[in-house]
Structure 1
Amino acid sequence: MTSKAQTRREALLLLLKNAGEPLTGGNLAQQLGVSRQIIVQDIALLRETGASIVGTSQGYVLEKSSRENLELTEEEDKANSDAAECSDDKKPFERTFKVHHDPAQTRDELETIISAGGRVVNVSISHRAYGFLSAPLAIETEEDISRFINDIESGKSAPLSTATSGYHYHLITADDEEAFETIGRALANKGYLAPLLPHEMPK
């Protein structure tokens, strides 16, 4: 049986899919009859399940890949599922980790993830005023880490996480589930792993 919250999240996805422009959290909240904070939480949960929702300065947008997924018919969906079962060994595993650290520890945090067998896809934050913001990273090697750190320092910029007092999320891919256990332990041992709040828990 579909819950009220799940129905609302499906409606949220459709609003983003059909929108011709970015939709703000306030706009979505008004259309769905809930608070803006609920929208932020729903978007965070939808992203956890694979929806490519990107936060911009103008509002939220649904990336093309997610739009196409929403338009699949049941037959196409089944065909894709069957194909996926045949190529599971080629599909990377994904997991989102919530972390917390100072800007000076950014390099060490990324090196910890890479050394444990992970690849950092993006960084995202959940901001009270701006909502859920995300930026691609594509960090897989030490060279990638150096490039990212140099880009930050040469541009005299600060990591996205400084807007949320060091709290942020990383979508990480790995070759198997065991790697995530290794990554989680490594981050926890260094004090980088942050606990999930009640509204961030998977349902």
Structure 2
Amino acid sequence: MTSKAQTRREALLLLLKNGDEPLTGGILAQQLGVSRQIIVQDIALLRETGASIVGTSQGYVLESDSRKVTRSVEVKAEARNDRCEASNDSGLCERTFKVHHDPAQTRDELKTIISAGGRVVNVSISHRAYGFLSAPLAIETEEDISRFINDIESGKSAPLSTATSGYHYHLIAADDEEALETIGRALADKGYLAPLLPHEMPK
């Protein structure tokens, strides 16, 4: 018997196969009636089973279709202004950054993002045994950072990223694409930004 999740993932693949252009996680989530986080998890599972799903700056495509949409993506990118198409209900732009650091640098990493105009929506890891794990953060101010650090320390817990040797992802929201680019440069300058591997999703 086919499960509901399996049926949804098959439908996701069909949408990508029939799409004339890249489809964002938000669009896929809307068409399939689930959250965007579910879409990210589905894509990770599909990739593990061999689906060649490629993440581009404009959304997801199947690898076999990536070449034919490349020029279309480039043209659209040239035509866009400095504000991205809203990624969520709040009207903010969002992008996933892969980062790497030790636990002692967590406060500085979060402060770097906030100081550059970002909001840390969540933290995620891709674990070889446990799969893709994500937890909401909703960090927008230095007070939020202190609260998060205190919660970790008072509970004698460790950040989620310790399960993957310091590698993790943050979904970051900002007012526009320029702010996201600034955040990326700030993280890179601090040595926190890690390169995305070919199979890893963007955002």
For Structure 1 versus Structure 2, the TM-score category normalised by the shorter chain is: 0.5 to 0.7
CA distance in 2, matches of 1:39, 1:174: 33
How far is the alpha carbon of 1:40 from its aligned partner?
10
Q: Secondary structure at the match of 1:6?
A: helix
How far is the alpha carbon of 1:8 from its aligned partner?
8.6
How far is the alpha carbon of 1:7 from its aligned partner?
2.8
Per the alignment, do residues 92 and 17 of structure 1 end up closer, same or farther by CA in structure 2, a change over 3 Å counting? closer
Counterpart for residue 149 of structure 2: 149
Counterpart for residue 37 of structure 1: 48
Gaps of 5+ in 1: 19-24, 51-84
Q: Secondary structure at the match of 1:162?
A: helix
Counterpart for residue 7 of structure 1: 14
How far is the alpha carbon of 1:17 from its aligned partner?
7.1
Per the alignment, do residues 174 and 40 of structure 1 end up closer, same or farther by CA in structure 2, a change over 3 Å counting? farther
CA distance in 2, matches of 1:115, 1:183: 9
Give the partner amino acid of 2:173: T
The equivalences for 1:52-91 within 5 A come to 91=91
CA distance in 1, matches of 2:106, 2:126: 18
Give the partner amino acid of 1:101: H
How much is the aligned-residue C-alpha RMSD, in angstroms? Answer: 3.8
Counterpart for residue 128 of structure 1: 128
Contact 1:40 1:132 (8 Å CA) reproduced: no
Q: Secondary structure at the match of 1:99?
A: strand
Counterpart for residue 179 of structure 1: 179
CA distance in 2, matches of 1:104, 1:40: 37
Q: Secondary structure at the match of 1:200?
A: coil
Counterpart for residue 194 of structure 2: 194
Counterpart for residue 113 of structure 1: 113
Instruction: List per-residue Cα deviations over 1:116-142 (Å, max 9, x = no partner).
Output: 000000000000000000000000000
Percent identical across equivalent pairs?
76
CA distance in 2, matches of 1:190, 1:41: 33
Gaps of 5+ in 2: 1-11, 18-28, 35-40, 61-84
Give the partner amino acid of 1:99: V
Per the alignment, do residues 114 and 39 of structure 1 end up closer, same or farther by CA in structure 2, a change over 3 Å counting? farther
Instruction: List per-residue Cα deviations over 1:3-55 (Å, max 9, x = no partner).
Output: xx933979xx8xx979xxxxxx9xx97xxxx7x8237996x96xx969xxxxx
Q: Secondary structure at the match of 2:172?
A: strand
- Structure 2 residue 165 is matched with structure 1 residue 165: yes
Normalised by the length of structure 2, the TM-score is 0.60
Contact 1:41 1:200 (8 Å CA) reproduced: no
| Equivalent residues, number | 144
Normalised by the length of structure 1, the TM-score is 0.60
CA distance in 1, matches of 2:115, 2:153: 23
